[in-house]
Structure 1
Amino acid sequence: MEISDGIEEDKIEQSQEEEVPHQQLKGKKLSCHKLRRHDSLDIESSSIRGLHGHDSKTMAWKVILHLAFQSIGIVYGDIGTSPLYVFESTFTKGINHNDDILGVLSMIFYTLTLIPLVKYVFVVLRANDSGDGGTFALYSLICRYAKVGLIPSQQAEDQEVSNFKLDSPNNSLKRASWLKSKLENSQFAKLFLLYATMLGTSMVIGDGVLTPCISVLSAVGGIKKATSAVTDDIIVWISVAILICLFSIQRFGTDKVGYTFAPIICIWFAFIGGIGIFNFIKFDPTVVKALNPQYIIEYFQRNKKEAWVSLGGIVLAITGTEALFADVGHFTVRSIQISMCSVTYPALIFAYTGQAAFLRKHIDLVGDTFFKSIPGPLYWPMFGIAILAAIIASQAMISGSFSIIQQSLSLGCFPRVKIVHTSTKYEGQVYIPEINYLLMLACVAVTLGFRSTTSIGNAYGIAVVFVMTLTSSFLVLIMIMIWKTHILLIISYVLVIGTVELVYLSSVLYKFDQGGYLPLAFAAVLMTIMYVWNDVYRRKYYYELDHKIPPDKLKEVITGTNINQMPGLAIFYSELVQGIPPIFKHYVANVPALHSVLVFVSIKSLPISKVPTEQRFLFRRVETKEHNVFRCVVRYGYLDVRNEHEPFEKMLIEMLKDFIANQVFWLSQNVLNNDENGGELDDGVVDGENENKDVKQVDEEKRQEAIEKEIEAVDKAWCAGVVHLFGENEVIARKGAGIGRRIIIDYAYNFLKRNLRQSDKVFNIPHKRMLKVGMTYEL
């Protein structure tokens, strides 16, 4: 399967991609591009360029093995504890025929091999978006190649970021170009991809609620086998206490949590694998016959509809598989491949094989297969490890939920929350306080509400299989457009993997009324939040785009006779990437004073993991007469840490001075004759063909003097004080809007905005130097 070189298999250490301090950038020879007549900033621009920070595709094996060890404790808790209940959940009405055990074992073996191992470990993990995984990573990868995003913030300069680039489709493969064209020209296709991504993401987060509930309840429920004095109420309240403790330790980060949990899960895998081998040798080595898929056919022939219904129990063997992909941002592709192939997969195969061998001799014990198959001397140690492992199982989906919400934020599909990067050694390990507490409250509510694992178990399958099917659908698009995979391989994937997942999906939907509605209910709530936020976000962006200040009007606003100039530097933030937002005119109309240096800043997230610091700032000069006014688009990736290694303000100003020092094309005859006649600086654009001629006309000493004078003006403004101006726009539905739009904008969106983190908190702006400018948008 051909894979684009633009999709990196591994990520490198944080230290290799850390933001470069401004002291290191200072003095670099930064080159400028030739200016375009029309570019994405409306007027000519240049991006600061330096050394390309290409990610290394190699990583020290010591680091990879460390991450592989950590991943065992974070990623595999859910799928690793499935042997506790798979056979019990499959044979809910007992075993009717001895060979049914072989049929179920055969399905477990091929399901584990096809889905977690072949599909995810060797195929899906390679579809990571510069190291990030999950449903939104697949969507953003498609957005990078095809223009299917609904926000018109794409810029030609984005293609210049070193790790943004993807291979273009081969002209001989018209299939890729045809599909890309269809997606880009269909508004329905764009909306469908976005909403399908939202739904899949919501299902994964919903699974992050269900997994802790069923894992902890299953673990604590085992106490009843040790003593009959423990009641169901006590079990429920103990479970609630454990859940609160589990979510409380998330703030310590994946790094510390992983090292804490990994040894326990390693011991767990060693126990279940060893006991499986013991049972296989002792009871029935002939269960290896289950490698023959003929037993699957015979199982369905004997049991018909009951066999199809039992697939809902077999699919529990692969619960938590999506965490392999969702959590790849916390680790690396190679580390997860190593831990899966060397530890998890063999241990699970041995465990299920040993249980099948035990059941062949003890059919009547299927209701308690796991604990009954443990040799006597190991029962109590295994019981203790099982409780710990079942509790840890919830960690995989909690970490995955943090990762995918981080991705959804960058695409404007989730309300603003604080992203905390918890590791200085490994990139991608994040913690989101608001989401952590909301997940905890949801888990506690489900535990107190359902009070048993039966209904929660029925809900498990729908969320898991639905997300797997969605991942396969997106993967087919990537195979066609980006990887340019041979059509026969794509058809084979769809026929084999796709068919298996659709059969499982049809089975788990059968249990919808038995608790299967729970993940759909969670998904409905989360998707409603995401839809409301994204819908109004897009409407606001288009409103500002339609009402932005034209260049000629901007001159009138800045050079108005009633405008006073004050010393200092003002940074005006907005979400608009192209042009000056309308809120600036509103500000000047009410405060007729401007600082000596004004920078319009747009914070923009690119659909990549990291943006090299020297490629982060995209500047242009807006006005070159009496005022120093600049436009700047600041580009971040998913995993970029904001304001932690270097203050944003200092970085911006240092980069602005570098831009001024390297921008030679704006100089006109005014610089040359400034001392002679004081003529005004020409505002026209210097074409590329006249570039050499103009530069030769400029006296080098006076050019350097002009640059130094302007940099000095920026330094003086900086010393005089920096003010951060935030455009806090209120949104209301326009007159005549339908009731649906009024509910979404006036009530739902504004409720979310009031109760979640504001922009100044996200960017850590000092309150003493912050000014909010309000304006009402009628959408």
Structure 2
Amino acid sequence: MSTVSDDPIVETDHHEEVSDQRQNLFDKLSRIDSLDVESAKVLDRHGRASRAWGWSAILQLAFQSLGVIYGDIGTSPLYVYARGTFALYSLICRYAKVGLIPSQQAEDADVSNFQLDLPTKRLKRASKLKSTLENSNFAKIFLLIITMLGTSMVIGDGVLTPCISVLSAVGGIREAKSSLSEGTIVWTSAAILVCLFMVQRFGTDKVGYTFAPIICIWFAFIGGIGVYNFIKFDPTVVKAINPNYIVDYFKRNKKDAWVSLGGVVLAITGTEAMFADVGHFTVRSVQISMCTVTYPALILAYTGQASFLRKHEDLVSDTFYKSIPNGIYWPMFVIAVAAAIIASQAMISGTFSIIQQSLALGCFPRVKVVHTSTKYEGQVYIPEVNYLLMLACVAVTAGFRTTQKIGNAYGIAVVFVMTLTSSLLVLIMIMIWKTSILLIIAYVIVIGSVELLYLSSVLYKFDQGGYLPLAFAAFIVTVMCIWSNVYQRKYHYELDHKVSPQKFKEIATNTCFSRIPGLAMFYSELVHGIPPIFKHYLENVSALHSVLVFVSIKSLPISKVPVEERFRFRRVEPRELYVFRCAARYGYTDVHNEGDGRPGCREKDDIASENGENMNENGGEISSNGWLEDVEMVEKAREAGVVHLVGENEVIAVKGAGIGKKILINYAYNFIKRNLRQTDKVFEIPHKRLLKVGMTYEL
């Protein structure tokens, strides 16, 4: 929120209720220190740590993360032997002005989470790279496209993970029922996938608690079976920790060894879910669950399967189920199917998270984001995306029918995401972290060479199903590029046609406009000046409400904006018109829906009622009496009624535009817009108080 004077209000003896009102307002205005917010140790008025994570909460999240994050990598043993990007982009945007929309404001740097912990020593290469990015339009567009491509691959991963996990697990029933046809297994898998997507509406919180016990049992089973096989068949496989065997393997198999890397990469599929899902949990909780449960169980499982294969080299394609002791086959089959279902949850949740981030940065069409937990922030569900993912998963399962082709596609998606993420990380190491050049070179040589080696291997099987994630990515990137391009054009149009201060003064002094009781809130994404919707409204309605608030919905390149710093108010001159600007600032993991009952969220009307608390941030002492009068005026207008005005903008290509521009705007963009949510649905504005103002933008 805006900074106000901390001087105590002098009580007046002619109105006792005025004193109480002032005291209540100052209670609301208690300022939280920025350092406390940054360190997540904010104390509320009663001295409790309102934002710090206690060990009890961390351990609960660690337990949930087993069910949500590690189901994917945890079920890799099912099929291994048979065959996050926007956060980094936002970090770059925080440090360098590489965004394509000119919405930066100096006061945004005052948000606690916006501060960067940078080394004091400035290196020339960091400044040079920053300058290059800021001055090159090509570099800005290239960065955005790379980020979109990585995002698209994660979404494609969210389609492929459920397919390969469920199909692999269900296929294991052939060990006991060899008479079952391939079609039966495929459609059984499809039915399970439909059920999985149907429960997503209950949210990560409930799903995590439901799934975590099953994953714990799964890890216990595969770890225990791994120890059993290790002891029974060949304990000498422990020698595999010697890296010399890697060299020998490549010398012996040459091209076949290189091709096999595409299958080896499946062992680490699911690690990307840790980064895609980290917004649902805390870093500490993810570390605890990984180090104490997931990693030890996987190492034991793979070691046991290797021991089994030393004695049964002809059973490579069915290693997992063949290596299970006969007495526990059916319990293991049931747990495997359940774990495969849960494995899908990791990337589904991750897909919701990354789409929420891209939506906040204006790179994805408007969809409704539902916050599913009142206890933990960042856990979201997107109905439209969930429905489309379900259809895509069923189509891929029915179309490919086997895990071999899906595995080829899966490997390409995972390695592509890793390679693109590493590329962005190099920029951050140079420009923001100012890492030693020797370490950067070592990182590029070691990590870069390994990732490129794996990428070349998985691309070798492009025609064997590997084309699928690239096709997904091409489609999603096209949609994102169309939306982002027209979104930028719309923003620049509003910027060019905003109401000038001189024009606004003319409106204020025009006696043709009558004033009516009530409060009008104009919604816009324009953060500089008054949007053209206001002028268009006045041309059709010759009346102004007694109080006007221009609400700008703004996304900052940070993960979260503290609630107490989210709304920033300014008074617009002339004062007698009672006009205010409100910048509602959100991070890319913040949920915009204000009516969902979350702690810290408020109805739109409540935003209006707080105008008086923050309205005088522009210089000088706050006059107590004048401030109180403003509060009373706003409150009186709110009681008279609140109207929410939203621009129903139709965009068309300007006359004389080329055929490409007409296709982009008139057909592609408008088709996407017609089939997705409108602004009032996204922000859950009450329909009975909503007024849409139609306006045509010629772009």
Q: Is TM more than 0.5 here?
A: yes
Pairing partner for 1:286 from 233, 236, 247: 236
Distance verdict in 2 for CA 1:257–1:170, change over 3 Å: same
Q: Deviations over 1:259-293 (max 9, x none)?
A: 11111111111111122122222222221221121
SS in 2 for 1:176: helix
Task: Give 1:60 shift.
Answer: 1.6
Read off the aligned partner of 1:219 and give its amino acid letter: A
Match runs of 1:278-677 below 5 Å = 278-641=228-591, 642-643=593-594, 644-645=596-597, 646-660=601-615, 662=616, 665=619
Match of 1:196 in 2: 146
Pairing partner for 1:141 from 88, 91, 96: 91
Matched, 1:751 2:671: yes
Task: Give 1:227 shift.
Answer: 1.6
With normalisation by structure 2, the TM-score equals 0.91
Aligned equivalents of 2:210 and 2:576: distance in 1? Answer: 61
Aligned equivalents of 2:315 and 2:507: distance in 1? Answer: 83
Match of 1:27 in 2: 26
Match of 2:127 in 1: 177
Contact 1:167-1:482 within 8 A present in 2 as well: no
Contact 1:51-1:614 within 8 A present in 2 as well: no
Distance verdict in 2 for CA 1:386–1:30, change over 3 Å: closer
Match of 1:84 in 2: 78
Aligned equivalents of 2:482 and 2:467: distance in 1? Answer: 22
Aligned equivalents of 2:71 and 2:631: distance in 1? Answer: 56
Contact 1:148-1:190 within 8 A present in 2 as well: yes
Task: Give 1:140 shift.
Answer: 0.7
Task: Give 1:24 shift.
Answer: 10
Contact 2:521-2:550 within 8 A present in 1 as well: yes
Distance verdict in 2 for CA 1:581–1:310, change over 3 Å: same
Task: Give 1:144 shift.
Answer: 0.9
SS in 2 for 1:483: coil
Task: Give 1:23 shift.
Answer: 11
The more displaced of 427-436 and 166-175 is 166-175
Aligned equivalents of 1:215 and 1:23: distance in 2? Answer: 60
Contact 2:523-2:550 within 8 A present in 1 as well: yes
SS in 1 for 2:180: coil
Match of 2:8 in 1: none
Task: Give 1:171 shift.
Answer: 4.1
Matched, 1:60 2:59: no
Aligned equivalents of 1:761 and 1:410: distance in 2? Answer: 15
Aligned equivalents of 2:74 and 2:576: distance in 1? Answer: 68
Distance verdict in 2 for CA 1:613–1:255, change over 3 Å: closer
Read off the aligned partner of 2:609 and give its amino acid letter: E
Distance verdict in 2 for CA 1:23–1:216, change over 3 Å: farther
Aligned equivalents of 1:595 and 1:157: distance in 2? Answer: 29
Match runs of 1:201-212 below 5 Å = 201-212=151-162
Percent of aligned pairs sharing the same letter:
74
Task: Give 1:576 shift.
Answer: 0.7
Read off the aligned partner of 1:56 and give its amino acid letter: A
Task: Give 1:534 shift.
Answer: 0.6
Contact 2:113-2:561 within 8 A present in 1 as well: yes
Match of 1:725 in 2: 645
Contact 1:76-1:344 within 8 A present in 2 as well: yes
Task: Give 1:135 shift.
Answer: 1.1
Match of 2:186 in 1: 236
Matched, 1:760 2:680: yes
Aligned equivalents of 1:637 and 1:143: distance in 2? Answer: 13
Distance verdict in 2 for CA 1:736–1:449, change over 3 Å: same
Contact 1:618-1:634 within 8 A present in 2 as well: yes
Pairing partner for 2:203 from 227, 235, 253: 253
SS in 1 for 2:695: strand
Matched, 1:71 2:65: yes
Unaligned 5+ segments in structure 2 are 1-20, 42-51
Task: Give 1:243 shift.
Answer: 0.8
Aligned equivalents of 1:367 and 1:575: distance in 2? Answer: 55
SS in 2 for 1:227: coil
Aligned equivalents of 1:314 and 1:625: distance in 2? Answer: 68
Contact 2:649-2:697 within 8 A present in 1 as well: yes
Matched, 1:711 2:622: no
With normalisation by structure 1, the TM-score equals 0.82
Q: Deviations over 1:626-678 (max 9, x none)?
A: 41112221112234343234433333223311124x5585xxxxxxxxxxxxx
SS in 1 for 2:81: helix
Aligned equivalents of 1:225 and 1:376: distance in 2? Answer: 11
Read off the aligned partner of 1:27 and give its amino acid letter: F
Task: Give 1:539 shift.
Answer: 0.3
Distance verdict in 2 for CA 1:387–1:710, change over 3 Å: closer
Pairing partner for 1:769 from 689, 692, 698: 689
Match of 2:658 in 1: 738
Task: Give 1:387 shift.
Answer: 1.9
Contact 2:173-2:333 within 8 A present in 1 as well: no
Distance verdict in 2 for CA 1:172–1:760, change over 3 Å: closer
Match of 1:110 in 2: none
SS in 1 for 2:460: helix
Task: Give 1:523 shift.
Answer: 0.9
SS in 2 for 1:569: strand
Aligned equivalents of 2:636 and 2:92: distance in 1? Answer: 46
Contact 1:604-1:634 within 8 A present in 2 as well: yes
Aligned equivalents of 1:608 and 1:663: distance in 2? Answer: 24
Task: Give 1:549 shift.
Answer: 1.4
Aligned equivalents of 2:28 and 2:65: distance in 1? Answer: 41
Match of 2:47 in 1: none
Read off the aligned partner of 1:26 and give its amino acid letter: L
Contact 2:79-2:168 within 8 A present in 1 as well: no
